[in-house]
Structure 1
Amino acid sequence: MYVNGQQLTEDDHFREHLEHGIPIQVYEQALHRDIGFIDDFTEHFIKINSVLYNRRLHTFISRPGY
């Protein structure tokens, strides 16, 4: 189970959020960029709301219950 506010970094984190429909929030540095459900992910990108976010440039936070 994920805690609200937990940072996601591993493939397993993203896979579980995708499979279980757990929303995540996206930050670029300290700025909020998006919140939603993962559409897909690769080694380099996370796709949320049809937008690709670079895993090295963005921070992904778990938002269960949002």
Structure 2
Amino acid sequence: MNEIFFIVEDAPEGGYTAKALGESIYTDADNLEELHANVQDAVRCHFDEDKKPKMIRLHFVREEVIAV
């Protein structure tokens, strides 16, 4: 595996949540710096060293509601 994808969303209570696609990895953080560290740590913990992806891709999803 060369790359793993995470969907990142704003958490309702503030900060961010991140969920990996195709893997059972979930983490959260209060800010982007913490999110980067938490995602890297979660990936290191989830995979054996020889199976670990080389790159982590974060896809930020923001939902906006607009009154009509």
Shared fold per TM-score greater than 0.5: no
Give the structure with higher Rg (CA): 2
Q: Which has the higher strand share?
A: 1
How does the TM-score come out when normalised to structure 1?
Answer: 0.30
TM normalised by structure 2 equals 0.29
Q: Which structure has greater helix proportion?
A: 2
